[in-house]
């Protein structure tokens, strides 16, 4: 279905600085199905948004992605999600999120969104074989942790190899821990992991850190942290669990074995925003820009979770953001553009 540009009506909306209201409304062709809320992404943010939107009788449709469930699908035990005193397996937790959303009327499709058009309402979303119209959209596509791409890394994920110290650090009490990376995340994770590990070794590919001065100084001065410079991890080994690594000193071109129980990879994240380039404001690293962590630069399009949140990246914070986005979408559908202006001004 193509909407002729000339048939759209433009409504001028004044919003606080930094937030532009497109305010362009186009007629819906008879026979087209219009969704109230389309949610893109199915991690804790997307599925919490789905629970809230479904309970508000908005019958949300969720584009979960072919690899649905988000980052927790790659985790083993989750011990810090409130409500599970004995912990829960990541995939099991995401199944429960999904069941809860479906119970209240969310429809979940395990397909990727390939393209969007947010320049006018109704918004348009494309998957491989469908085009969907939606009055409002919640973008909760998350961010993917970068992995090293070395031999055995994938097999040992959740078995000593992790990208989340907050999630998995507590499993390594009195163990030998390695952290890879030289940025703030690596320093933060290394310092955090000293609470559990016998010793933490930071392996960094250069001889100076990218991290902020204060974080770098804290890590460098820590008695339980040591640094291996100009070095990369070349492979990880272990039958059922990580047992050792191969490290290559790239200055001297020397390879050695290193015994370790855990490897935390902290080399950055990539937000999943390729489909939104040119449609939503993105920052230099590709994260969605939002003045309040809920609204985007397009009125009626909301954001939730790691695709915005460069700092916390926790399941529980993502879930909280999903809740906020759904509540704002509900208000937007009820009161229109005027609500967005009010919500942002207060
Ligand atoms: P980052 O600043 O991009 O640092 C990534 C680090 O990983 C760099 O040291 C980089 O090395 C290294 N690296 C990248 N790819 C690698 C590879 N394939 N193999 C080995 N090493 C690799 O990412 P981040 O630390 O996740 O931080 C992201 C943003 O969040 C930053 O703006 C940071 O300041 C912020 N942040 C702030 C806090 C805080 O304030 N408490 C905490 C966490 C994050 P090179 O240095 O050689 O490029």
Indicate the fold that domain 161-265 takes in CATH: FAD/NAD(P)-binding domain (3.50.50)
CA 329 to chain centre: 20
Residue 166 CB neighbour total at 10 angstroms: 17
By the 8 A CB rule, do 229 and 204 touch? yes
Domain range list for the chain: 5-144+269-345, 161-265
Asked whether the beta carbons of 323 and 316 are under 8 A apart, the reply is no
Q: Do domains 5-144+269-345 and 161-265 have the same CATH topology?
A: yes
Active-site residue, 8 included = no
Out of 26, 112, 167, 184, which one is annotated catalytic?
167
Mean residue pLDDT across the chain: 91
The helix/strand/coil state of 239 is coil
Q: Residue 210 pLDDT > 80, yes or no?
A: yes
Contact 9, 270 (CB under 8 A): no
pLDDT band at 78 (very low <50, low <70, confident <90, very high): confident
Residues having CB closer than 6 A to ligand 1 are 148, 180-186, 188, 205-206, 210, 232, 266-268, 310
pLDDT classification of 2: cutoffs 50, 70, 90: very low
DSSP per-residue string spanning 166-205: HHHGGG-TT-EEEEE-SSHHHHHHHHHHTTT-SEEEEE-S
CATH superfamily of 5-144+269-345: FAD/NAD(P)-binding domain (3.50.50.60)
Ligand 1 center–CA 45 separation, angstroms? 24
Q: How far is the CA of 294 from the centre of ligand 1 (A)?
A: 25
Per the CB < 8 A criterion, the answer to whether 79 and 166 are in contact is: no
8 Å CB contact between 292 and 302: no
pTM above 0.85, yes or no: no
CA distance linking residue 205 with residue 223, whole number of Å: 22
User: What is the C-alpha separation between 140 and 63, in angstroms, rounded?
Assistant: 10
pLDDT in tens, 121-169: 999 999 999 999 999 999 999 999 999 999 999 999 999 999 989 889 9
């Amino acid at each position: 279905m193509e909407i002729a540009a000339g048939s759209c009506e433009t409504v001028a909306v004044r919003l606080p600085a930094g937030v532009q209201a497109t305010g362009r409304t186009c007629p819906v062709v008879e026979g087209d199905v219009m969704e109230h809320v389309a949610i893109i992404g199915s991690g804790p943010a997307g599925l919490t948004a789905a629970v809230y939107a479904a309970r508000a009788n908005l019958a949300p449709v969720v584009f979960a992605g072919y690899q649905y469930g988000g980052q927790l699908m790659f985790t083993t035990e989750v011990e810090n999600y409130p409500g599970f005193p004995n912990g829960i397996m990541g995939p099991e937790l995401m199944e429960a999120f999904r069941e809860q959303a479906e119970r209240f009327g969310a429809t979940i499709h395990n397909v990727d969104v390939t393209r969007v058009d947010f320049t006018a309402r109704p918004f348009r979303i494309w998957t491989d074989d469908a085009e969907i119209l939606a009055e409002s959209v919640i973008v909760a596509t998350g961010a993917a942790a970068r992995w090293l791409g070395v031999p055995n890394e994938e097999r040992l994920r959740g078995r000593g190899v992790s990208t989340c110290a907050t999630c998995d650090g507590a499993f390594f009490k009195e163990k030998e821990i390695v952290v890879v990376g030289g940025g703030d995340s690596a320093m933060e994770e290394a310092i955090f992991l000293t609470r559990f590990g016998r010793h933490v070794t930071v392996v960094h590919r250069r001889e100076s850190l990218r991290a902020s001065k204060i974080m770098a100084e804290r890590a460098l001065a820590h008695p339980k942290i040591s640094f291996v410079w100009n070095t990369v991890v070349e492979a990880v080994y272990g039958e059922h669990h990580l047992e050792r690594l191969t490290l290559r000193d790239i200055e001297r071109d020397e390879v050695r074995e290193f015994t370790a129980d855990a490897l935390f990879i902290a080399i950055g994240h990539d937000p999943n925003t390729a489909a939104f380039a040119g449609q939503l404001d993105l920052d230099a690293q590709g994260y969605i820009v939002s003045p309040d962590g809920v609204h985007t630069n397009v009125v009626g399009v909301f954001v939730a979770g790691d695709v915005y949140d460069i700092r916390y990246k926790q399941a529980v914070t993502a879930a909280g953001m999903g809740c906020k986005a759904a509540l704002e979408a509900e208000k937007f559908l009820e009161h229109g553009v005027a609500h967005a202006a009010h919500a942002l001004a207060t």
